[in-house]
């Protein structure tokens, strides 16, 4: 999105809202244009100061462009549903340009990709100033980014490519869920001034055997075309060890996907980020392609206190300011909490209060303490239930193994009796 005004004049919430609106509109248009194969659409969004209307649409829809009026009407309905804010001191100008497609070689290539998913990058939402993390971890990230940013100088101009033929621009973040792996991906993309192409295994996996590698290749092609940072969330499925004794089609498909990932990583010159839970199960071939494995741990007491502070809304109606001592005391209650769990607890507090008192809500420190305590009890209950499920699973496996061993022993006994009878 191109802004014609200083971003400082807009709130972060409004900027995020406008960015997401543009991304959502692009996705909406992509789906609509599929119904009109002879029509192509380009979209431009600008924010202009002091407009009379909040949203203005410019277009060149005509009867000569089949489907243009239909799509224009659909866009107007889409915006009417999405936009629920009143007129402001600036105008969102949306320009839609319709034109007939030409049967070029490029379009023929595009038609060959019909059926493959469409991957759309997003504008990064976070920067490093918004992330609470250990300074040593942040230093490791920036050291890695420095290598990535200076690779042209180091490898080309200084000739390091003769020592290491391929510069590595792959980072892997690992650690418990909710420790900031996704936020780091957004911050890196913003630091590099690039869009972020976020992916997971379910988006790449296909119900058709053999299509997953094609989908993965399409994702890399999209990232190259748009100069986007690639981010694979929950990437263990991509990076795991290839299965040696393949017995099922699904196992073969998974091996093919992992082999394709290795090939694409080798040829891709952009930045790739992985988020995983463990690094012990990696295929050894991936280690040579990863610049750094960076562990993100659960926050300590002081870090939890900082996360609480930055997660409390700026305009929260409080009876009196929460002191550092009070927040630090609460952070002791939630030992083992991730940043995500802290934010979820605060959101639960806000929802509860809003439901009970609405705009008359007044928050006190006990509200925050109770919200954290409730979330702690909830997580402890879920952990206990998960442990019980794990115990049951182990018990079932042991019983199955015992029955299997018993059956084997029985069969051996029958064979021995038959041999003795023959003697």
DSSP 50-90: S-SSSEEEEE---TTSTTHHHHHHHHHHHHHHH--PPP-SE
Pick from 267, 295, 323: which residue ends a domain?
295
Q: Out of 103-112, 211-220, 247-256, give the one with best mean pLDDT.
A: 211-220
**Domain check: are 139 and 280 in the same one?**
yes
Q: What was the pLDDT predicted at 6?
A: 55
Q: Residue 2: pLDDT band by 50, 70, 90 thresholds?
A: very low
CATH of the domain at 218: 3.40.50.300
CA atoms of 411 and 10, how far apart (whole Å): 78
Average pLDDT score over residue span 311-321:
93
Q: Residue 78: pLDDT band by 50, 70, 90 thresholds?
A: confident
Task: State which H helix or E strand residue 21 sits in.
Answer: helix 12-33
Could you read off the pLDDT of 360-400 as tens digits, one per residue? 999 999 999 999 999 999 999 988 888 888 888 888 888 88
pTM for the whole structure: 0.63
**Domain check: are 196 and 155 in the same one?**
yes
Q: What was the pLDDT predicted at 124?
A: 92
Q: What was the pLDDT predicted at 111?
A: 47
More confident residue, 29 or 195: 195
Pick from 77, 112, 147: which residue ends a domain?
112
Q: Is the pLDDT of residue 354 over 50?
A: yes
Does residue 118 fall inside a structural domain?
no
Could you read off the pLDDT of 213-231 as tens digits, one per residue? 889 999 999 999 999 999 9
Range of the domain at 256: 128-295
**Domain check: are 279 and 311 in the same one?**
no
More confident residue, 328 or 250: 328
Average pLDDT score over residue span 86-109:
66
Q: Out of 77-81, 303-307, 401-405, give the one with best mean pLDDT.
A: 303-307
**Domain check: are 335 and 384 in the same one?**
yes
Q: Is the pLDDT of residue 353 over 60?
A: yes
**Domain check: are 282 and 311 in the same one?**
no
Per the listing, tokens 């009417």 go with 80
Q: What was the pLDDT predicted at 14?
A: 67
Q: Is the pLDDT of residue 7 over 60?
A: no
Pick from 278, 295, 312: which residue ends a domain?
295
**Domain check: are 136 and 257 in the same one?**
yes
**Domain check: are 13 and 77 in the same one?**
yes
Mean pLDDT across the chain, nearest whole number? 82
Q: What was the pLDDT predicted at 1?
A: 39
Q: Out of 31-40, 237-246, 248-257, 331-340, give the one with best mean pLDDT.
A: 331-340
Q: Which two tokens stand for residue 82?
A: 């999405």
Does residue 121 fall inside a structural domain?
no
Q: Is the pLDDT of residue 123 over 70?
A: yes
Q: What was the pLDDT predicted at 3?
A: 44
Residue 227: CB partners within 8 Å, gap ≥ 6?
A: 194, 195, 270
**b/e per residue, 265-276, with b = 16+ CB within 10 A?**
beebebbbbbbb
Work out how many domains the chain is built from and give that number. Answer: 3
Q: What was the pLDDT predicted at 329?
A: 95
Nearest alpha-carbon partner for 152 in 142, 139, 161: 161
């Amino acid at each position: 999105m191109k802004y014609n005004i200083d971003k400082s004049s807009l709130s972060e919430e409004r900027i995020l809202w406008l960015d997401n609106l543009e991304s959502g509109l692009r996705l909406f248009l992509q789906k609509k244009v599929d119904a009109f194969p002879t029509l192509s659409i380009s979209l431009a969004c600008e924010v202009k100061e002091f407009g009379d209307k909040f949203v203005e649409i410019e277009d060149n829809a005509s009867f000569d462009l089949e489907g243009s009026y239909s799509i224009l009407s659909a866009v107007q309905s889409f915006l009417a549903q999405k936009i629920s804010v009143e007129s402001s001191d600036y105008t969102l100008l949306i320009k839609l340009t319709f034109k007939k497609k030409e049967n070029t070689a490029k379009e023929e290539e595009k038609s060959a990709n019909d059926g493959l998913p469409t991957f759309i990058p997003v504008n990064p939402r976070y920067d490093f100033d918004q992330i609470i993390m250990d300074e040593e971890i942040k230093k490791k990230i920036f050291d890695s980014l420095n290598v990535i940013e200076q690779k042209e100088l180091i490898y080309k101009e200084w000739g390091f490519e003769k020592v290491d033929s391929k510069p590595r621009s792959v980072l892997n973040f690992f650690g418990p869920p909710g420790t900031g792996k996704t936020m780091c991906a957004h911050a890196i993309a913003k630091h590099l001034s690039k869009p972020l192409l976020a992916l997971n295994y379910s988006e790449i996996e296909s119900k058709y055997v053999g299509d997953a590698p094609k989908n993965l290749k399409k994702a890399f092609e999209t990232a190259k075309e748009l100069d986007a940072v690639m981010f694979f969330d929950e990437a263990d499925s991509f990076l795991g060890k290839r299965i040696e004794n393949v017995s099922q089609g699904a196992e073969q498909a998974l091996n093919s996907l992992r082999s394709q990932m290795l090939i694409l990583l080798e040829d891709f010159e952009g930045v790739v980020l992985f988020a995983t839970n463990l690094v012990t199960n990696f295929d050894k071939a991936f280690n040579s392609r990863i610049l750094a494995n960076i562990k993100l741990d659960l926050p300590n007491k002081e870090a939890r206190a900082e996360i609480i502070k930055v997660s409390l809304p700026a305009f929260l109606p409080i009876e009196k300011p929460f002191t550092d001592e009070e927040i630090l005391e609460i952070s002791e209650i939630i030992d083992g909490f991730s940043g995500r769990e802290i934010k979820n607890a605060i959101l639960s507090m806000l929802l509860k209060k809003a439901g009970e008192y609405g705009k008359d809500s007044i928050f006190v420190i006990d509200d925050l303490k109770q919200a954290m305590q409730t979330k702690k009890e909830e997580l402890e209950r879920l952990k206990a239930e998960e442990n019980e499920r794990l115990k049951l699973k182990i018990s079932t496996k042991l019983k199955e193994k015992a029955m299997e061993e018993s059956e084997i022993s029985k069969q051996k006994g029958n064979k021995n009796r038959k041999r003795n009878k023959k003697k």
